[in-house]
Amino acid sequence: MDQNDAAGAVGVILLILATLVGIAIFVVYIVTIIWSYGDAEKRGKSGCLVAILVAFLSWPLGLIIWLVARPNDKQ
């Protein structure tokens, strides 16, 4: 195996790994938006507004803000 072949193989493996990590982070991002929507609706708040907050407020900062500020009582 040539040194260039080995470097190319390592590059492909790193590209695949980076893609899988990116997909995993994206899935967690989507799941937290869906969860925050449902949690807000259960607590009598606007699910759309909270989902937008979580999605666009420098995720995961928006999720942390929702976890700290959400009402304690479920309806």
Q: How many domains does the chain have?
A: 1
2 lies in some domain: no
Structure tokens at 17: 């790994």
37 lies in some domain: yes
51 lies in some domain: yes
8 Å CB contact between 34 and 48: no
64 lies in some domain: yes
54 lies in some domain: yes
Average pLDDT, the chain: 89
55 lies in some domain: yes
Phi, psi of 19 (to 5 degrees): -65, -45
Residue 38 banded pLDDT, cuts 50, 70, 90: very high
- pTM equals 0.80
1 lies in some domain: no
Encoded amino acid at 25, one letter = I
8 Å CB contact between 59 and 30: no
Q: Residue 23 pLDDT more than 90?
A: yes
- Domain boundaries, position 51: 23-75
